[in-house]
Amino acid sequence: MDETTAGPETARIPPQRAKSLLETAVAYAEERHWDVLAGSWLEDAGGARYCSCGDTVCPAPGAHPTRPDWSTRATGSTSVVRRMWQAQPTASILLPTGRTFDALSVPESAGFLALARMRRQELNLGPVTLTPDRRMQFFVLPGGAAKMPEMVRQRGWAAVARELVPLGEGRYVAAPPTRIGSRGAVQWVCRPTPANRWLPDVEELIPALAYACGRDS
């Protein structure tokens, strides 16, 4: 069922279409040319949902890699992606950063504030996700995560650095419609479309994100 979730006054989350995890993972690889990885999943036990890793206090239940070599297993091959989810249909969808995109992660309230500012400035935005633990990830060109700390330092924004987290090589994001424990599902705030196939450079988004993090702190 399609669902629209109200955000702050500055934005609303668009309807999230119901598709299987397999179909969605294949679409990410086929249409966006993103590398994809099947992660952990949720298991029901005694009326509760636990992570397949077996850790009862898992920090990201049902939404993390299952092997130390996860980075080498992520693939853009649709046939391999299909086999991953045929083997485990409820596996989470993980997208490695530092390849076709990096991401900048900020608190939800700061993210919506920045998003409204970016739209007023008519900036070109890439996809943006919202996680159940109230973080937003803004997709940018690869290499942006490595540049961000020095940019923040040079511009005197060190006070907001702890709220503005760069995700680059060796990191990943959980992609919609992955569910994280009992918290809910990852959603698109800005859905991948042909119009946002070309991602912004980190320099374009940092001013608005740093400003919003400073206002939100």
Measured over all CA atoms, what is the biggest interatomic distance in the chain, rounded to whole angstroms?
A: 53
Is 142 among the domain residues?
Answer: yes
Residue 73 lies in a domain: yes
Q: What pTM was computed for the model?
A: 0.89
User: Has residue 5 been placed in a domain?
Assistant: no
Q: How many domains does the chain have?
A: 1
What pLDDT shows up at residue 15?
54
Question: What pLDDT does residue 135 have?
Answer: 96
The range of the structural domain enclosing residue 152 comes to: 21-216
Q: How far apart are CA 94 and CA 98, in angstroms?
A: 13
Residue 4 forms part of a structural domain: no
Residue 10 lies in a domain: no
From CA 95, how far away is CA 102, in angstroms rounded? 10
> Tens of pLDDT along 148-166?
988 888 888 777 778 899 9
Residue 190 lies in a domain: yes
> Is 193 part of a structural domain of the chain?
yes
The average confidence (pLDDT) of the chain is 89
Q: Please, which pLDDT band fits residue 185 given cuts at 50, 70 and 90?
A: very high
Please report whether residue 13 resides in a domain: no
Average pLDDT on 99-107 reads 97
CB proximity list for 142: less than 8 A, separation 6 or greater = 97, 98, 99, 100, 101, 102, 168
